[in-house]
Structure 1
């Protein structure tokens, strides 16, 4: 199991390291062009391909979607209270502390812990989190929420289209699925290299500036896990689904939170530093599940 986790994490850290080198030596990541490409082309293609590739009945999918939405609501309320008590701007920090990295870390970790039968369940949870990024996340960071803007949002439209196709038991032609796969494949590498570039260019004045990213790196996985456990007390799932749900809710700060913070001028540097730190906390949680 440790070997499988390592196999999942080595590519992630390798791309972050490559981005750090390129960020210091080149201007590849300056400007908004790459972020725009990822959010308007890469992510919609990745999400639509992922949803259409899942093997799951609509009833099982609906229950997971519903409990994940409830968890997001509980986590958002708890986090808003904590941020107010600590004096941080709620709109700036709430999305990154609520949303876990259920995609390019959570799905591989679930596979390593629970096997290939967990992939569909993990992807459903990840898809709901992606919708929340582009509703709750953008609504907070842009300081506004518009149903009209949401209706034009590429990732949200991709997820809605995917859900409708799954409900109708429709299949897209093979060449279309291949095209979506190819377009989606650009997404995660670019996001991780952007993150590495931002980390490499951080300017910290001392230990005080490190304290809150360290605190946030523990908060996201541990409070996420605790709130998921509380939700399961009120809404029990079967043991297999519950374990996947708990692991996904305990994942680190999402790279997407960083991408959106850059795009909407949020606290991108703090989020960039929190992501790799929170990975190690989530990894400890995952190892705890494997030993349990």
Structure 2
């Protein structure tokens, strides 16, 4: 089991470390071109190929989307109440504490733990979280919703296309599926290296108070995991769906939350410090899954 765990996590940690080194030593990750390529091409292709390849009908995908939406709503209510009771600005901290890094962390972790059959499930959940970034995240930090940005979001459009094709029982030709597979194959390694580069480039010199980021780093993965587990008591999913859902809900603070906090003058330094700390906690959850599930 230890060997299996190390084999599963070694590629993830190696690519994150490689991204951190390259981010420090090169300009490979400068600008938005590479992340834009992944968002506009890689993730949509991976999502569409995974959804059309997995053994899931439109109702199964709808159940996974539904439980993710309900989980988000419960997280918003619980986190908002706790922030209010603590006397902290709810709108400033809510998006970072609610949204897990289901993209460039959650998808590779699910792939490592559960194999390629989990990719479609992980990407469906990640797409819902991405929609929430463009609605709840931007809405809280800026005071307005970005509906246009959401409608132009590639993964969201791919999810809709996949659902329509499944509903119509339409199978894409083999060459098209192969092309989607090749395009989607760039996603996981690039996402992991981008995550490493983002963490390595965070400026933490202004983060004087370690207590609050430390508390946040435990709250984000553990509260997400606990609420997901409670939901599964009343919302039945298959074993694989439940495992992927739990892991995705236990992921660390999303790098996107830091990006949005910088853009809209939120508590970016505290969020920046919380990202690597919560990453350690989330990896601990992944280790526990691999050893005891």
Confirm or deny a common fold (TM above 0.5).
yes
Hey, what's the Cα distance between the residues in 1 that align with 2:111 and 2:29? 32
Distance verdict in 2 for CA 1:28–1:105, change over 3 Å: closer
Q: TM-score, normalised by structure 1?
A: 0.80
Task: State how 1:81-230 maps to structure 2 within 5 Å.
Answer: 81-86=81-86, 88-107=88-107, 109-110=109-110, 120-141=120-141, 143-205=143-205, 208-230=208-230
CA contact (8 A) 1:125 1:248 kept: yes
SS, match of residue 208 in structure 1: coil
CA contact (8 A) 1:218 1:278 kept: yes
Alignment: residue pair count:
292
SS, match of residue 145 in structure 1: coil
Deviation at 1:214, TM superposition (A): 2.4
Distance verdict in 2 for CA 1:105–1:53, change over 3 Å: farther
Deviations 1:61-99 (A, max 9, x none): 222221121111101222223334445554443333222
Hey, what's the Cα distance between the residues in 1 that align with 2:118 and 2:213? 31
SS, match of residue 252 in structure 1: coil
Deviation at 1:220, TM superposition (A): 1.2
Aligned to 2:292: 291
Deviation at 1:224, TM superposition (A): 0.5
Distance verdict in 2 for CA 1:31–1:141, change over 3 Å: farther
Pair 1:282-2:268 in alignment: no
Aligned to 1:31: 31
SS, match of residue 275 in structure 2: helix
Hey, what's the Cα distance between the residues in 2 that align with 1:177 and 1:138? 34
Deviations 1:160-195 (A, max 9, x none): 111111221212223333333333333343433333
Distance verdict in 2 for CA 1:88–1:120, change over 3 Å: same
Deviations 1:29-71 (A, max 9, x none): 3333333333333333332233222221222222222112111
Q: TM-score, normalised by structure 2?
A: 0.80
SS, match of residue 251 in structure 2: coil
In structure 2, stretches of 5+ residues that fail to align are: none
Hey, what's the Cα distance between the residues in 1 that align with 2:216 and 2:166? 37
Deviates more, 1:60-69 or 1:157-166: 60-69
Hey, what's the Cα distance between the residues in 1 that align with 2:145 and 2:87? 23
In structure 1, stretches of 5+ residues that fail to align are: none
Deviations 1:83-117 (A, max 9, x none): 34445554443333222234554455556656666
